[in-house]
Structure 1
Amino acid sequence: MGLSIAAYMTRVVPLADPSDVGHARRIAQKLGEDHGFDEQDAGRVALVTTELCSNVLKHAGHGELHLRVLPREGGRYGIEVLTVDRAQGFDAQACLADGYSSAGTQGIGMGAVARLAQVFDVHADTRGAVVLARLYGKHDAAADQRWGATQHALHGDPACGDTWYLAVDGQQVSALVIDGLGHGREAEVAALTGAAVFASAPFAEPLLQLQALHQAMSGTRGGAVAVAQYNGASNRLAFTGIGNIGACLVAGTQQRGLASLPGIVGGQVRKTQVFNYADLNGNVLIMYSDGLQSRWNLQDYPGLVHRHPAVIAAVLHRDFCRGRDDVTVLVIDLEAVHV
């Protein structure tokens, strides 16, 4: 049975004062309750959120909590709790040791957080830290899906001109990123129009998808579009893009960009082409809108390519967001699909 994951804007809670920890905890706990978590599981979400947010205030002074709902098979959901800061990093091993506690917290320590969450990961260096916890209900035994996304509207606008979509069916993955022209409500309409068409047939042949999106978006502002389809059985990826959606494959110290062609889907498209890539063992696929600068290189972040995709997405957003447009980063671990 396949899994379809539609775009969900990142819920951001600023952290600058001890009172923000309680506010963040209440938001996270309610998010869990609203998505099927029972009292005990929602309590785990609250406890993990409290510790991670308190850790930010202790080590960095200020930062952010990022929350995301994670669609799961069978109509279930998980909750992603992720903190971001720009301090000088911290000793992750010391924080994970039992007995370590952040001032003002319940003192459970980061090691206990790692046990309470089904997924726990950290990247910390001199630029700051990103700490991830993913929590699922006690009756949800399905494996974690190795993808991560961060999506933010310009200046916190409720309308976002970026969108994305991810479909997983066995060893097949199909991913979409759209950047509607400009930003605001009209850009959002363009992006959502295209995403709805893609969602109706996410594993259709890429050029047919692009043609269908072009036709549907012709009554809107239009936008930039990229589609990536990976087949784990053949270990091949097909990619097609129109406009300035960035995309690359990263494996170890190698990083290669994926080719897009000029044009505006829903406007003027002169040429379309599918580019094929093979032998992708150990590769991570990263797709992003032009709200993210393109001058980044994961080699500048030792070990980051091996972290959870949600951590990679958050680090890139933290350090390379332009701050003058909507921004989306979608990261998929292809190795987790290839078996």
Structure 2
Amino acid sequence: MNIQGSMTIVLAIEDETQVGHARRVAQSLAVELAFDETDAGRVALVATELATNLLKHAHHGSLHLRAIPAQSGQGIELIAIDRGAGFNPNVCLADGFSTGGTQGTGLGALTRQAQLFDIHSDNKGSVVLAQLYPRHVSALPLRFGVSQHSLKNDPACGDVWHLAVDGSRLSALIIDGIGHGEDAEQAGLAGAAAFAEDSFADPTINMLDMHQAMTGSRGGAAAIALYEAGKVRFAGIGNIGASLVTAEKSRGMASHPGIVGSQFRKAVAFDYPVDSAQLLVMYSDGLQSRWDLRDYPGLVHRHPAIIAALLHRDFCRGRDDVTVMVIALEAIVD
């Protein structure tokens, strides 16, 4: 399976009028992805509940929407993000609990409507995730999350990502085209197209193929992580960050200087052993590198989409396109 990158849709939730807008955007996306009327109605309900809860409990925040792949067809991911005081998810998920004078069925209703529901909340804010699929569609066994945003909401994004899955093998790519806008995007897309032709080739070979495909463009930074046979083989050129993370430690993966499509000395790959409790985190330089999941107790055990969204919330530089990809490797460890 080849999963092509897509940008995250971000909807600001700052007043009641934006709740209705979020509902309409989410429902429209569901219809576009071939949800029937009943399933699109579930998406609209979840979007309404998430947006309403943001206003009630955090006073403002944002709702992130993204089409996500399934075993056949597609689903929808909705993530509510805020910087409020936080809450105890175990208490608030119980029907009948309310801090806003309502009947207290909101979070409980979300768990019944969504096929996947997860929360991280602390004194820095909350991230609430809901994934929905048409009732005849099943989710992928792979757990991963991507948060991708263009600078100033430009329709073109200089960051490009691609993910290929074949049984217990996985190959992940992030390219950051030089600068931002259409020219940077075209550079990234040229490299991703070359990568997609043989995603499971050795990363050093793929990097050379991408270099040739991106020659004549702006070029960019790129990193490939190939997981198979109990290890990640990683090759990076430029400033794409990557780490293998557990609850106890984080190990960065080494890149070399240069620009794919312009000049670099050579692509060198390094092998990193993987155990059953590791996350692979890859990110463009639109994200600060000084983050540590240990500063967020319990976060490493949450769904990767929550981790990606939280890292974007707290460490986005705000002056470039940004992509964060988080993959739970335990689902594909042999």
Q: TM-score, normalised by structure 1?
A: 0.95
State how far apart, in whole Å, the 2-side matches of 1:70 and 1:314 are.
15
SS class of match (1:88): coil
Match of 1:323 in 2: 318
Match of 2:74 in 1: 77
Note the C-alpha offset of 1:204: 1.4
Paired AA for residue 116 in structure 2: V
Match of 2:291 in 1: 296
Match of 2:150 in 1: 153
State how far apart, in whole Å, the 2-side matches of 1:145 and 1:69 are.
15
Note the C-alpha offset of 1:4: 1.4
What do residues 190-214 of structure 1 show as CA deviations (whole Å, max 9, x unaligned)?
1111111111211112111000000
What do residues 271-327 of structure 1 show as CA deviations (whole Å, max 9, x unaligned)?
221100114221000000000000011110111111100000000000000000110
CA contact (8 A) 2:66 2:76 kept: yes
SS class of match (2:239): coil
Paired AA for residue 315 in structure 2: F
State how far apart, in whole Å, the 1-side matches of 2:99 and 2:135 are.
27
Are residues 35 and 107 of structure 1, via their aligned partners in 2, closer, same or farther at CA, if it must alter by over 3 Å? Answer: farther
For structure 2, which runs of at least 5 residues remain unmatched after alignment? none
CA contact (8 A) 2:287 2:315 kept: yes
State how far apart, in whole Å, the 1-side matches of 2:140 and 2:156 are.
32
CA contact (8 A) 2:150 2:156 kept: yes
Paired AA for residue 43 in structure 1: G
Q: Percent identity over the alignment?
A: 58
Match of 2:91 in 1: 94
Match of 1:174 in 2: 171
State how far apart, in whole Å, the 1-side matches of 2:98 and 2:25 are.
23
CA contact (8 A) 1:66 1:82 kept: yes
Note the C-alpha offset of 1:142: 4.2
Match of 1:123 in 2: 120
Note the C-alpha offset of 1:100: 3.6
> What is the Cα-based RMSD across aligned positions, in Å?
1.5
State how far apart, in whole Å, the 2-side matches of 1:338 and 1:263 are.
32
2:138 aligned to which of 137, 141, 166: 141
Match of 1:238 in 2: 233
Aligned residues between the structures: 334
Tell whether 2:334 aligns with 1:336. Answer: no
SS class of match (1:219): coil
CA contact (8 A) 1:69 1:80 kept: yes
1:42 aligned to which of 36, 40, 43: 40
State how far apart, in whole Å, the 2-side matches of 1:245 and 1:126 are.
30
State how far apart, in whole Å, the 2-side matches of 1:104 and 1:196 are.
53
What do residues 70-98 of structure 1 show as CA deviations (whole Å, max 9, x unaligned)?
12233x00000111101111232232111
Note the C-alpha offset of 1:101: 5.6
For structure 1, which runs of at least 5 residues remain unmatched after alignment? none
State how far apart, in whole Å, the 2-side matches of 1:108 and 1:143 are.
29
Note the C-alpha offset of 1:106: 9.0
State how far apart, in whole Å, the 2-side matches of 1:151 and 1:142 are.
21
State how far apart, in whole Å, the 1-side matches of 2:58 and 2:176 are.
33
